[in-house]
Amino acid sequence: MDRLKIGITCYPTLGGSGVVATELGKLLAEKGHEVHFITHSMPFRLGKFDKNISYHEVEVNDYYVFKYPPYDLSLASKLAQVAKLEELDLLHVHYAIPHAVCALLARQMVGPQLKVVTTLHGTDITVLAQDESLSDLISYAIDESDAVTAVSQDLIEETRRLLGISKPIDLAYNFVDKRVYYPREVSELRKEFAHPDEKILIHISNFRPVKRVTDVVEIFDRVRKEVPSRLLFVGEGPELSKVLCKVKELGILDRVTFCGKQDDVAQLLSLGDLMLLPSEKESFGLVALEAMACGVPTIASNAGGIPELITHGETGFLAGIGDVDQMAAYAKLVLSDEALYAKMKEACLHRARYTFCNDLITRQYEEIYYRVLGRPLPEELKSRPINC
């Protein structure tokens, strides 16, 4: 097969973009491509050794002439260095700022044969593009990339609205690896969190204000008064203390568990009966897809790209941002109706497996890579079955 040499740059820590970028790289390596991660630290999802995967650390020195360490310049230099040394075909960078700009600078140093594919994940557009000091730079990064993808149609439309971009943007949804996210056998572990007659509601996030995590507490407080239940929090962040205060204020500390940051959430998701995602904005909502793949429905806000993921009334329910009463009502309905819950569970498993299939979306990225390189799709790739 015409094997590609791909450089991937992302934020390697916890967060949806880093997770997707790392998982994509691993899947590409499985399919025979040579993958080089070029990041400031080892991606936390990289896992075991693979002969087709290499990691190159971006080292940033703190010189007294700079007010801040010049990460952007160090990254651009490292991208160019690795591209030359390893004869990379392309750089696939996640986030327009700073990664796409750095990749474009690297391309200038290496030559036009090095192609740049940029994936937009959300805050690089919904937050940074609204900053007048950055918007022109983001537009430049998008316009000069050889291909641009976005994780939802909503994000594509937001990009066009905020920046006036006319360049074609490919829709490439996030995905989960079905070998990792599936309903686990957790009956023994579940005993540590809830009694047999209790339901478990779960929320996973970085506890930023946009996640509206105090709404999660409000929803749970309404649910537990009618449905015996427990609440499980996974993650931490700036709003954690505010959430803890709300839990204490409502007198429900004995019914809430804070698990902190967890690298492997698949097992915890299998504990849950319902995911709560009342965010003010989500370009996609990867945690809801991870829950879906484990057979767990989601109650979420009707915001951003969430409606592209959650089918209202089939794999969960959607309500207005901040409408905790409606979200709580939907949660009580799902948790109280066994037939409805069983139907939703099956719908979640089917949609996660076939609509957001990791093999299908990896193939989509491969097609984009060959397109920007001006190469025909290898016959082996064309004939390779998509395993969903």
Angle value at C-alpha 49, between 47 and 54, nearest 5 degrees: 100
Please report, as a single letter, which amino acid is at residue 223.
Answer: V
Q: Is the pLDDT of residue 44 over 80?
A: no
The model's pTM is 0.92
Q: What is the 3-state composition of the chain as percent helix, strand, coil, each rounded to the nearest 5?
A: 45, 15, 40
Q: Peptide bond preceding 378: is omega within 30 degrees of 0, i.e. cis?
A: no
At residue 59 the predicted structure's pLDDT band, cuts being 50, 70 and 90, is confident
At 292 the pLDDT is 98
Token pair recorded at residue 248: 């204490």
In this model, does residue 88 exceed pLDDT 60? yes
Q: List, for residues 306-332, the tens digit of each pLDDT value.
A: 999 999 999 999 999 999 999 999 999
Predicted confidence band of residue 261 (pLDDT cuts 50, 70, 90)? confident
Partnered with residue 148 across adjacent β-strands are 118
> Which residues is 229 bridged to in the sheet?
199
pLDDT tens-digit readout, 265-296? 899 999 999 999 999 999 999 999 999 999 99
Distance between CA atoms of 363 and 333, rounded to whole angstroms? Answer: 38
Q: What is the pLDDT of residue 122?
A: 82
Beta bridge partners of 230: 200
Question: How far apart (Å, rounded) are the C-alpha atoms in residues 150 and 383?
Answer: 27
What structural domains does the chain harbor?
5-175+357-383 (3.40.50.2000), 187-354 (3.40.50.2000)
Beta bridge partners of 200: 230
DSSP letter for each residue of 197-208: T-EEEEEES---
Which amino acid type is present at position 14?
L
CB 138 within 8 A of CB 362: no
Cβ-proximal residues to 356 (8 Å cutoff; 6+ apart), any chain: 173, 174, 175, 176, 289, 292, 293, 309
Query: Which residue, 8, 10, 14, 4, is CA-closest to 204?
Result: 14
CB-CB contact of 201 with 257 (8 Å): no
